[in-house]
Chains A and B, each alone.
Chain A
């Protein structure tokens, strides 16, 4: 229950929300689930009987209609199609509508069937308006399986607001299979509608996060629209009035992969009502269902296109794009996929490579086909660095250089004034062929950063390079042969540059070979995308293209038997098939030779076996291959180290940080460091866990230039001690918000000003003539009110600013004079002060 307790304080500021766990209460209750809602109107889609009302109520448009359509007390059930509904073991939230008060607008659509438990505290028009008080910024993660019910609020946007459901997050990241089956076992509930007033028991230990803004009175909610109006444009609020409009400013992030893990990067981000999927990778360590992210998390039966606004791929490594054809063609997604030009060029080649290995070599069925890769790439939209891409009217993305591999990019995702930066993999120190990642001070609400080397502080890459060169050099010197199994793109080029420059410097004569045509082709990509490499290569490419290698020549099968030393780069990288395996077999028997594995090897491959120390390999045909050659492993992936990550956080100045793509233990260390150093919250959700981050975007309105200029004319900076107030009237009309001076507001609305004037009679004992009294009043006020303009007018009256004071004789008592003090409502303070001042009498005349 601690989750409930957490949620309540936040909710307490807004409308009343109570969480109950008992079942069978007679009080009407409201079921609200955090289901992903489809982007398009789903009203026409068939749903299972009884569930339609519930799910419909969640989607924006039908939300209004649910006022009539939903029978009394019908809450929001689970979505029909695969969304998460509350099931057994979930907290039942009882949400009380605060009533609509006496506001001029109709109450929220939630009202039917919702009986207030408490009388509303205030009429809606007396209530301050604004976003419902955001709950304290906190990560709301559930630690124990049954998924918490969450209240999501109706959101009137042009399209319905979608959220993804919370799915039971496996506490220890169980195998996807188990996870899936766990999901399936809960399947029936998901499709069930929950009748009103029939809440089910919730198990203890559930966290629940309650967002209650949907229940605020109509006017209050208009502000949610205000926040959005800037980007929403016309028509949203106008069409349905304020009442229906509500948007909770919050950002939600759920990693489907790469949460406290490396591999299968796939992160869902919901920001400003937009859903974006960051990366779509495969896991190198699995060969079953677990290798791809579980996209059914997003929707079970619905179309992904309806749930996602766009997909962004950060770079071409398979753990970031490997599941893309599966995702877009087999699961089905037709929306835009964004990536940089080099990624778009290289990604299909690696996918094809991967497919060939999986299908042709391992004989996997039900894998994506070449055609699917092609079809998938047709959905790709290429982006330039720093280009602001408008995905739609509200959602924009922007790519920054990440330096991890050719074309690697970090992405800023922005809706209105809220933004998230996703780094993908990046490298903060320029390496042999790429530059360093860079981002401007974009101050995102959230920075999602990789943390592969979260605990590595110094740059160990140089050492690894030196190590590598030393080993190669030694082997070649003693006449041995070096085999470097690589994948065609990425690391291969880096190692080639490394060897090429080394060969040049040390003047070595041993030949270096490249095994396949593909790699040569790959080099060509680097030549054509030279603008993406580092400064040095770019500057010198006309004289010497770094990717035109002098010492590295194409390999021929016959060369393997040549005597003498040589270095061969051969594909594929895990020694599981093809040329690299052939060469390996030939050379394995000689202890003078060496194989260097520059990357990760999947279990079951020859590469993995030799790396795990196996020296006798069983090959096909019951042959046993004895490995006498030296086996070395060297990781050459270019990631930012802890220092680099901190540097990037410092550059971007985010409000909070979220770690992905790293090991939990290392993340923990970095998390603490970030929280200490930058005093921002740092999260590290596991796969399937959702981080919710409330945001409080300020509301952009138009201020009339006249009003602004008038204010600015009075001095640019209000002094800290005595702030000067700007007064104006905010006119909210349709979706436009204009702040104008009060006079202008009256004028624009065609209203006349109503003048309220007060005249007070102050009796003074003074037997002198009226004129003299007036003169005395004048000199008195003049001496007291030094900061004010006090004038003695020729007609005998005295003015203080615009307050008029006249002295008159008392009709009955000649010894008394009556001072008539007259002021308008706008001068009330001063007028009231003057009367009290005058009441005290005048100082004795010096006469």
Chain B
């Protein structure tokens, strides 16, 4: 639950780019005329409210671009696009948008199903909140918590998203290029590369190196990053997802075999696809073929259908299936054989088909709203039944708290496929960014396990960390910017070799800057004078001192210089040595040339011709820059 923002201040126009954003997941408040007590815990009885990402720190109307990493990271999007004056563009992949829409749709549907008249606000008073027991008193920024958005706002927010594909290079304002890369965590989940011509920032958020259904993570493209912002690591670094899946299956089978029901609170997309696939392989061997699986969500059907059409975003195995052509996920077969049934809600068809014992997948995993609440109340009293938590976003103890006392079994098998610390160090070794930037909590072991030094990011140089509401300057040293030289100008350049392998050319050109792209064009030829009058005036014009002369370098060998002078018709050249160099005297012309190691001084009468001749002779010995 981090909220990371990358801001690259682009030199000239004060261009602020690149924002990613993780919504603070809904913090929940349930239960009394505001406050209720339940088995020793105090709850707020209110319409569920949601904590937004930090919006105080920046003026969202100045944000140009929002980059979405995966569908879990866009839940707060309507708050930002609809009510903050945000006018920029949002970029996301197609599956992210489609599944993100489903998640939001489900959320809105769940909340609108149980309308509550008022939302609690009294407890938010700082003086009252201070007196409340934990965790209420520790809740941050409660005043900014908001009620859920409406479907209308969701649609409006989603219409502002521009669809992008993996490895698509998106030019922003001519100065920055952003590219989404597969992150391997979810359908369409992406890491982002934000680069200009000389800098590269990678934003790695919610990535997975495990082989599940999405396309594997693209690591190669992250190489050569100046800065790698790392966030969205696994929430349960100690749990191995594979082991958890095994535990999930065996617990499920055990409960069902004993005649109990299994409740799996889950999101309508994501891990559920993998769970169904595991069960598909498992049910026959476990003798569960007669047990019905119910998937209850307003978007259950859409989620299952959508999962089948994103072949291009799936792992290789699933892609090849599509080429056969077969549906990439086996849940199509589960549906066909009637083992898996999906319903929009518990009302309607479901109540006719409902058969026990059974397995129910439904939301919301926080157990605060959605159909899961009914099942908790229905099955909570019997110890035969089991609730299995697989989503890692919520503490299962907190989730269960309002239902206590509870007879049903609770199994906690959090399946979080995102990077753990071992994988992170592997990844960093592979990618080798110059700097790593991450949230502060990743740079120290978790407070509960302070001895586990392995549960933190270990890299060289040490990761730079940031805290909530902290602005961190990224260690960039910008020295160069790309500029294009027009071919006509290049034609006119004359390079000189100064040292072996190094050549120089002086450039005088007109700089054109448009859309943050710089182009050097050849200087315009002086317009030919149109009439005699004008020409006269032109010669009297005060010269524009901006016509710069190149710098000079080198030294003048006196003897050769004298020879050259003589060759050019200067007789009676006299040379005098001085402390620092020589003085060349041209007696006839009453001219004196002081030559030193790195300076030459020509002192002459006001004879322009002579001066120019001498100048050219001197310049022959010098290099221009």
Chain A interface residues (CB < 8 Å from chain B) = 104-105, 125-131, 133, 219, 222-223, 226-227, 238, 241-242, 341, 344-345, 382, 384-389, 398, 521, 524-525, 527-531, 541-542, 696-705, 708-709, 711-712, 716-718, 722-734, 738-739, 742-743, 745-746, 749, 751-763, 784-785, 787-788, 801, 821, 825-830, 832-833, 835-836, 838-839
Chain B interface residues (CB < 8 Å from chain A) = 11-12, 94, 164-169, 179, 197-198, 301-302, 305-306, 308-312, 319, 322-323, 325-328, 478-488, 490-499, 501-513, 518-520, 523-524, 542-556, 597-606, 608, 611, 615, 618-619, 622-623, 625
A-B contact pairs, 5 of them (CB 8 A): A708-B481, A729-B507, A757-B601, A827-B549, A838-B606
Are B550 and A386 interface neighbours, CB within 8 A?
no
Are B542 and A732 interface neighbours, CB within 8 A?
no
- State the CA gap A730–B198 with chains docked (Å): 18
- State the CA gap A704–B179 with chains docked (Å): 26
Are A734 and B501 interface neighbours, CB within 8 A?
yes
Are A525 and B325 interface neighbours, CB within 8 A?
yes
Q: Which of A131, A398, A742 contacts B490 (CB 8 A)?
A: A131
Are B543 and A753 interface neighbours, CB within 8 A?
no
A785-B542, A830-B543 in contact; A345/B507 too (CB < 8 A)?
no
Are A731 and B485 interface neighbours, CB within 8 A?
no
Dominant secondary structure at the A interface: mixed
Are B542 and A833 interface neighbours, CB within 8 A?
yes
Provide the residues of chain A in CB contact with B498, threshold 8 Å.
749, 751
List the A residue with the shortest CB-CB distance to B497.
A104
Are B483 and A700 interface neighbours, CB within 8 A?
yes
List the B residue with the shortest CB-CB distance to A763.
B606
- State the CA gap A398–B165 with chains docked (Å): 11
Are B480 and A703 interface neighbours, CB within 8 A?
yes
Provide the residues of chain B in CB contact with A702, threshold 8 Å.
197-198, 480-483
Q: Which of A125, A129, A529, A835 contacts B608 (CB 8 A)?
A: A835
Provide the residues of chain A in CB contact with B495, threshold 8 Å.
125, 129, 219, 222, 730, 732
Ranked nearest first, the 9 interchain pairs of A and B with the lowest CB-CB distance are A130-B491, A702-B480, A829-B543, A755-B599, A703-B483, A698-B484, A696-B487, A742-B625, A742-B551
Provide the residues of chain B in CB contact with A731, threshold 8 Å.
502-504
Provide the residues of chain A in CB contact with B478, threshold 8 Å.
705
List the A residue with the shortest CB-CB distance to B221.
A390
Are A762 and B601 interface neighbours, CB within 8 A?
no
B341 nearest CB across to chain A (Å): 16
Provide the residues of chain A in CB contact with B611, threshold 8 Å.
758, 760, 832
Q: Which of A222, A521, A833 contacts B325 (CB 8 A)?
A: A521
Are A739 and B542 interface neighbours, CB within 8 A?
no
Are A756 and B618 interface neighbours, CB within 8 A?
yes
Provide the residues of chain B in CB contact with A756, threshold 8 Å.
552, 599-602, 615, 618-619, 622
- State the CA gap A156–B600 with chains docked (Å): 43
Q: Which of B325, B481, B492, B604 contacts A761 (CB 8 A)?
A: B604
Q: Which of A726, A758, A839 contacts B615 (CB 8 A)?
A: A758
A725-B523, A725-B546 in contact; A730/B492 too (CB < 8 A)?
no
Are B554 and A542 interface neighbours, CB within 8 A?
no
B565 nearest CB across to chain A (Å): 16
A403 nearest CB across to chain B (Å): 16
- State the CA gap A611–B478 with chains docked (Å): 70
Besides A699-B484, A724-B510, A726-B507, 7 other CB < 8 A contacts? A126-B494, A718-B511, A726-B508, A732-B504, A754-B599, A754-B622, A787-B542
Residue of B327, B491, B508, B601 most packed against chain A (CB within 10 A)? B491
Provide the residues of chain A in CB contact with B504, threshold 8 Å.
729-732, 745, 749
A720 nearest CB across to chain B (Å): 9
Are B551 and A131 interface neighbours, CB within 8 A?
no
- State the CA gap A129–B322 with chains docked (Å): 56
- State the CA gap A724–B503 with chains docked (Å): 26
Are A727 and B494 interface neighbours, CB within 8 A?
no
Provide the residues of chain B in CB contact with A787, threshold 8 Å.
542
Provide the residues of chain A in CB contact with B544, threshold 8 Å.
722, 829
- State the CA gap A644–B503 with chains docked (Å): 51
Are A761 and B309 interface neighbours, CB within 8 A?
no
- State the CA gap A832–B609 with chains docked (Å): 11
Q: Which of A521, A727, A835 contacts B606 (CB 8 A)?
A: A835
- State the CA gap A829–B539 with chains docked (Å): 12
- State the CA gap A836–B510 with chains docked (Å): 30
Provide the residues of chain B in CB contact with A757, threshold 8 Å.
599-602
Are A125 and B494 interface neighbours, CB within 8 A?
yes
Are B524 and A743 interface neighbours, CB within 8 A?
no
A812 nearest CB across to chain B (Å): 13
List the A residue with the shortest CB-CB distance to B597.
A752
List the A residue with the shortest CB-CB distance to B168.
A386
B605 nearest CB across to chain A (Å): 5
Are A755 and B506 interface neighbours, CB within 8 A?
no
A751-B553, A755-B599 in contact; A703/B543 too (CB < 8 A)?
no
Are A726 and B492 interface neighbours, CB within 8 A?
no
Are B480 and A704 interface neighbours, CB within 8 A?
yes
- State the CA gap A709–B603 with chains docked (Å): 37
- State the CA gap A700–B545 with chains docked (Å): 29
Provide the residues of chain A in CB contact with B481, threshold 8 Å.
702-703, 705, 708
A128-B494, A749-B499, A825-B615 in contact; A389/B602 too (CB < 8 A)?
no
Are B165 and A386 interface neighbours, CB within 8 A?
yes
A385-B165, A528-B325, A725-B547 in contact; A730/B505 too (CB < 8 A)?
yes
Are B598 and A724 interface neighbours, CB within 8 A?
no
Are A703 and B518 interface neighbours, CB within 8 A?
yes
Provide the residues of chain A in CB contact with B12, threshold 8 Å.
712
Are A760 and B606 interface neighbours, CB within 8 A?
yes
Provide the residues of chain A in CB contact with B512, threshold 8 Å.
718
Provide the residues of chain B in CB contact with A749, threshold 8 Å.
498-499, 502, 504
Provide the residues of chain A in CB contact with B496, threshold 8 Å.
125
A715 nearest CB across to chain B (Å): 10
Are A128 and B546 interface neighbours, CB within 8 A?
no
Are A542 and B301 interface neighbours, CB within 8 A?
yes
List the B residue with the shortest CB-CB distance to A734.
B501
A407 nearest CB across to chain B (Å): 10
- State the CA gap A571–B311 with chains docked (Å): 28
Residue of A398, A701, A830 most packed against chain B (CB within 10 A)? A701
Provide the residues of chain A in CB contact with B166, threshold 8 Å.
384, 387
B330 nearest CB across to chain A (Å): 14
Provide the residues of chain A in CB contact with B486, threshold 8 Å.
698
Q: Which of A382, A708, A729 contacts B312 (CB 8 A)?
A: A382
Are B523 and A388 interface neighbours, CB within 8 A?
no
- State the CA gap A98–B142 with chains docked (Å): 80
Are B506 and A742 interface neighbours, CB within 8 A?
yes
Provide the residues of chain A in CB contact with B301, threshold 8 Å.
542
Q: Which of B179, B493, B506, B509 contacts A129 (CB 8 A)?
A: B493
List the B residue with the shortest CB-CB distance to A749.
B498
B519 nearest CB across to chain A (Å): 7
Provide the residues of chain A in CB contact with B619, threshold 8 Å.
756
Are B494 and A129 interface neighbours, CB within 8 A?
yes
List the A residue with the shortest CB-CB distance to B505.
A730
Are A542 and B302 interface neighbours, CB within 8 A?
yes
Q: Which of A529, A722, A801 contacts B311 (CB 8 A)?
A: A529
Provide the residues of chain B in CB contact with A785, threshold 8 Å.
542
Provide the residues of chain A in CB contact with B494, threshold 8 Å.
125-129
Provide the residues of chain B in CB contact with A828, threshold 8 Å.
549, 615
- State the CA gap A472–B609 with chains docked (Å): 97
B147 nearest CB across to chain A (Å): 28
Provide the residues of chain A in CB contact with B545, threshold 8 Å.
788, 801, 827, 829-830
Provide the residues of chain A in CB contact with B503, threshold 8 Å.
219, 222, 242, 731-733
Are A826 and B606 interface neighbours, CB within 8 A?
no
Are B305 and A755 interface neighbours, CB within 8 A?
no
Are B487 and A698 interface neighbours, CB within 8 A?
yes
B140 nearest CB across to chain A (Å): 39
Provide the residues of chain A in CB contact with B165, threshold 8 Å.
384-387
- State the CA gap A744–B388 with chains docked (Å): 67
Residue of B168, B482, B485, B604 most packed against chain A (CB within 10 A)? B485
List the B residue with the shortest CB-CB distance to A789.
B545
